[in-house]
Amino acid sequence: MQRHPRNPLIEPDQVVPSAPGYRVRGAFNPAAVRFDGEVLLLLRVAEDCPAREGRVAVPVASIEAGVGRPEILELSLDDPDVALKDTRGIVYKGLDYLSTMSHIRIARSRDGVSFQVDDTPFIFPGDASECFGVEDARVTRFGDTFAINYTCVSPDGWGTALATTRDFRTIERRGLIFTVQNKDVSIFPESIDGLYRALHRPNNSGFGRPSIWYAESPDLIHWGNHQCILRPRDTFWEEMKIGGGAPCIKTPQGWLQLYHAKGRNQIYSLFTVLLDLEQPWRVLKRGSIPILRPEMPYETDGFFPNVVFCNGVVTWEDGRVFIYYGACDESVCLLETTVAELLASVDAA
Amino acid sequence: MQRHPRNPLIEPDQVVPSAPGYRVRGAFNPAAVRFDGEVLLLLRVAEDCPAREGRVAVPVASIEAGVGRPEILELSLDDPDVALKDTRGIVYKGLDYLSTMSHIRIARSRDGVSFQVDDTPFIFPGDASECFGVEDARVTRFGDTFAINYTCVSPDGWGTALATTRDFRTIERRGLIFTVQNKDVSIFPESIDGLYRALHRPNNSGFGRPSIWYAESPDLIHWGNHQCILRPRDTFWEEMKIGGGAPCIKTPQGWLQLYHAKGRNQIYSLFTVLLDLEQPWRVLKRGSIPILRPEMPYETDGFFPNVVFCNGVVTWEDGRVFIYYGACDESVCLLETTVAELLASVDAA
């Protein structure tokens, strides 16, 4: 497996802000899909609003009839109604506002390496359930329809919403498919025995550690038969929590899933797990060590240091696999590997 | 509204333990349903295991092939592998065990007041997702099938499972319908426009306060279109969290839901809310004060003081409503009222 020599492939300064007064802090954690002869990345773009001395400014989505527009709430620090809330935001007249807001932006490439980032958002917060931002998309293809799931954040918590598209220009919102608190949803690229399948990551913190769960659906919208199938191990790398990544890769040996793990010292790394083809809630094998961990300067030093996180993978007919990953919640990088190498990495029972 | 003069109707000493060495600590929070000329209550029965001096004992469900049996894990406090974990349990060889375990037991009555409690459990923990207990059932009738949802607790967290029955003797388990952490699920007694509807209460604690959510399902098994519809108010009674109760009562004015609220000083009380008949995610009106709050000695003094909690309601053809409620996580009580009185209680916008 090899990091691409041109890493990071996409950095924040390549992204045009959503609105005047906005500043792009991160372009990271992309979904990935082959479409119409191109590789499309669905970037998470995080923006904040610089403020003048003595003032504070936060990005807000002004939402009307299902359409959101980027606006700025700028306030004086002398305003008695303003309270700072650690580094993540402010409280104004009793309501919370976050200091950064994310949306989903498309980057397009012919070769999977050189990307051109769209000038405008693809999915911008569009209803009350998304008003704090939309994050970390995954794309799963079903014929000529693409299912996009993403984390939606609001004062009511963070859950997972579904949107569908056929052209990567317009989307249809299909509502929250996994209620709060739940993210890291990875939908399998085929239905099995007439049911769609997914991995998800509910927050059971305080009663067990955040683990990978399995669910089934007749229609991608309604989900049930939830089962906990993969838990963090007591290791340096997985101690805190784990969560699913891009849609599984189908191999003759089983469904291959790349998952992220948060270990000691807040370090995020990437692992592989192999699931049974017919009964995908059955774990066959699991990698004993990470296939990728923060080592390069762009992985160890950035907006959120020591994070590698993957929610987008592209496979090629010759067995090559392009693993796009976010580094430091800031940039997009590429790890090149093959299905054979990934299968070899799942070495533990 | 009147508390029944014979309250509490059911107390722990009326319940035969599940196994020798078990002790019943609470018989409370019942689901309620009219069936075959009787009122059935589906009690939550909480049991612990008294231990001899210098020892500790906890109830455990020994689970094999979907059938659980009550067993006891008794250990010496001198055992270096035993660690006490506040009052809720122990850690033994790295695994958690809770000091009490709940199951669901049926109590039967001709008049809705004098109950005979079955000698054996109705729903006992039967798989890994229930191994710490099953709690707080709700029953919703659909023709000759009854949907029973209940909280299942395991080391992976607490979620909501569904079982169905036609005879209240055998059940069919249908899996987790709301993944962890989620409880207080209240399924509407009719499908609307071909979809089943439910209220649920995900744990968004730390990002918003636990609130009442709405969801839809084509089949009672798979759920989606999650929406947050009712949040705690900043009042003495609701400050901490709220959660749904028994299935809604259908009235010409709307769906009437009795919900519980946890306020300051850990006090639980009961409120009413009215939802739109056709669009049940729309809140029409809400009670400004509790319809019931801990006042009587059996409500203020017990296993968990100052708790009234309702997940079982029976309606009669003449408009009377029997509200069965748990008091102090210990006993079952009855509040008698009418649909008209409940509708009059929803007085606020």
pLDDT band at A84 (very low <50, low <70, confident <90, very high): confident
Percent residues over pLDDT 90 in chain B? 95
Measured between alpha carbons, how far apart are the two ends of chain A, in Å? 22
Query: Contact B224/A158, CB-based, under 8 Å?
Result: no
Query: Contact A218/B216, CB-based, under 8 Å?
Result: no
List pLDDT tens digits, range A253-281: 999 999 999 999 999 999 999 999 999 99
Chain A residues touching B223 at Cβ < 8 A: 222-224
pLDDT (0 to 100) of residue A231: 97
Half-sphere exposure of B83 (CA within 13 A, CB side): 7
User: ∠ CA B279-B31-B226 to the nearest 5 degrees?
Assistant: 30
To test the contact with chain A by mutation, choose from B181, B205, B233 the residue with the greatest count of A C-beta atoms within 10 A, namely: B181
For residues B147-153, average pLDDT: 98
**Residues B8, B12: Cα–Cα separation, whole Å:** 10
* 8 Å CB contact between B216 and B225: yes
For residues A2-24, average pLDDT: 98
Is the pLDDT at A234 greater than 90? The verdict is yes
Q: How far is A151 from chain B (nearest CA, A)?
A: 13
More confident: B86 or A257:
A257
Mean pLDDT across chain A: 96
In 3D space, the residue among A225, A204, A203 whose CA is nearest the CA of residue A214 turns out to be A225
* 8 Å CB contact between A310 and A245: yes
Is the pLDDT at A88 greater than 80? The verdict is no
Query: Contact A155/B226, CB-based, under 8 Å?
Result: no
Half-sphere exposure of A321 (CA within 13 A, CB side): 22
Cα–Cα distances (Å) from A90 to A18, A56, A74, A82, A158, in that order, read 21, 8, 11, 7, 18
List pLDDT tens digits, range B30-71: 999 999 999 999 999 999 999 999 999 999 999 998 899 999
Query: Contact A207/B159, CB-based, under 8 Å?
Result: no
Is the pLDDT at B86 greater than 80? The verdict is no
For residues A304-317, average pLDDT: 98
Contacting B with CB below 8 Å, chain A residues are: 129, 154-159, 175-182, 200, 202-204, 207-208, 211, 213, 215-219, 221-228, 231
Locus of tokens 């790394």? A269
Is the pLDDT at A140 greater than 80? The verdict is yes
Query: Contact A219/B221, CB-based, under 8 Å?
Result: no
Is the pLDDT at A145 greater than 90? The verdict is yes
* 8 Å CB contact between B162 and B149: yes
User: Quick one: CA torsion of B195, B199, B200, B204, rounded to 10 degrees?
Assistant: 110
Judged by DSSP in three states, B345 sits in helix
pLDDT band at A219 (very low <50, low <70, confident <90, very high): very high
pLDDT (0 to 100) of residue B111: 98
B156, B208, B216: residue with CB nearest A204: B156
For residues B11-25, average pLDDT: 98
Cβ pairs A/B, distance under 8 A: 125
pLDDT (0 to 100) of residue A94: 83
- Per the DSSP assignment, residues forming a β-bridge with B158 are B153
Judged by DSSP in three states, A23 sits in strand
For residues B135-163, average pLDDT: 97
- Which residues touch A344 (CB under 8 Å, ≥6 apart)? none
pLDDT (0 to 100) of residue A59: 97
pLDDT (0 to 100) of residue A204: 86
- Which residues touch A146 (CB under 8 Å, ≥6 apart)? A33, A35, A139, A140, A164, A165, A166, A168
To test the contact with chain A by mutation, choose from B207, B211, B233 the residue with the greatest count of A C-beta atoms within 10 A, namely: B207
Nearest chain B residue to A156 by CA: give it: B208
Contacts from A287-293 at CB under 8 Å and sequence distance 24+?
A287/A345, A287/A346, A287/A347, A287/A348, A288/A347, A288/A348, A289/A237, A290/A237, A290/A261, A291/A1, A291/A258, A291/A335, A291/A337, A291/A342, A291/A345, A292/A1, A292/A323, A292/A325, A292/A335, A293/A237, A293/A267, A293/A269
Q: How far is B17 from chain A (nearest CA, A)?
A: 27
Backbone CA torsion sign across B169, B175, B176, B177? negative
Judged by DSSP in three states, A128 sits in helix
pLDDT band at A207 (very low <50, low <70, confident <90, very high): confident
Is the pLDDT at B85 greater than 90? The verdict is no
Query: Contact A224/B129, CB-based, under 8 Å?
Result: no
pLDDT (0 to 100) of residue B88: 75
Query: Contact A157/B213, CB-based, under 8 Å?
Result: no
List pLDDT tens digits, range A116-134: 999 999 999 999 999 999 9
Largest CA distance in chain B: 64
List pLDDT tens digits, range A170-197: 999 999 999 999 999 999 999 999 999 9
For residues B237-253, average pLDDT: 97
List pLDDT tens digits, range B202-240: 998 777 899 999 999 999 999 999 999 999 999 999 999
Contacting A with CB below 8 Å, chain B residues are: 129, 154-159, 175-182, 200, 202-204, 207-208, 211, 213, 215-219, 221-228, 231
A342 backbone dihedrals φ, ψ, rounded to 5°: -65, -40
pLDDT (0 to 100) of residue B206: 72
Is the pLDDT at B167 greater than 90? The verdict is yes
pLDDT (0 to 100) of residue B94: 84
Q: Each residue of A263-292: b (16+ CB within 10 Å) or e?
A: beeebbbbbbbbbebeebbebebbbeebbb
pLDDT (0 to 100) of residue A66: 87
Q: Poorest-confidence range of A231-240, B202-211, B283-292, B338-347?
A: B202-211
A176, A227, A228: residue with CB nearest B225: A176
Chain B residues touching A177 at Cβ < 8 A: 224, 226
- To which H or E segment does residue A104 belong? strand A101-109
pLDDT band at A217 (very low <50, low <70, confident <90, very high): very high
A158 backbone dihedrals φ, ψ, rounded to 5°: -120, 130
pLDDT (0 to 100) of residue A349: 84
Is the pLDDT at A300 greater than 80? The verdict is yes
- ipTM (interface pTM): 0.96
Query: Contact B176/A225, CB-based, under 8 Å?
Result: yes
Residue B239 burial (C-beta neighbours within 10 Å; 0-12, 13-18, 19+): middle
pLDDT (0 to 100) of residue A211: 98
Is the pLDDT at A19 greater than 90? The verdict is yes
pLDDT (0 to 100) of residue A206: 72
pLDDT (0 to 100) of residue A323: 98
Chain A residues touching B200 at Cβ < 8 A: 179
**Residues B36, B109: Cα–Cα separation, whole Å:** 11
Chain A residues touching B215 at Cβ < 8 A: 179
For residues A62-69, average pLDDT: 92
Is the pLDDT at A89 greater than 90? The verdict is no
Percent residues over pLDDT 70 in chain B? 100
pLDDT band at B183 (very low <50, low <70, confident <90, very high): very high
Nearest chain A residue to B200 by CA: give it: A179
Mean pLDDT across chain B: 96
Tokens linked to A219: 């229609």
* 8 Å CB contact between B46 and B102: yes
To test the contact with chain B by mutation, choose from A180, A191, A214, A239 the residue with the greatest count of B C-beta atoms within 10 A, namely: A180
Which one-letter DSSP state was computed for residue A339?
Answer: H
pLDDT (0 to 100) of residue B102: 98
Query: Contact B222/A226, CB-based, under 8 Å?
Result: no
More confident: A65 or B337:
B337
pLDDT (0 to 100) of residue A329: 97
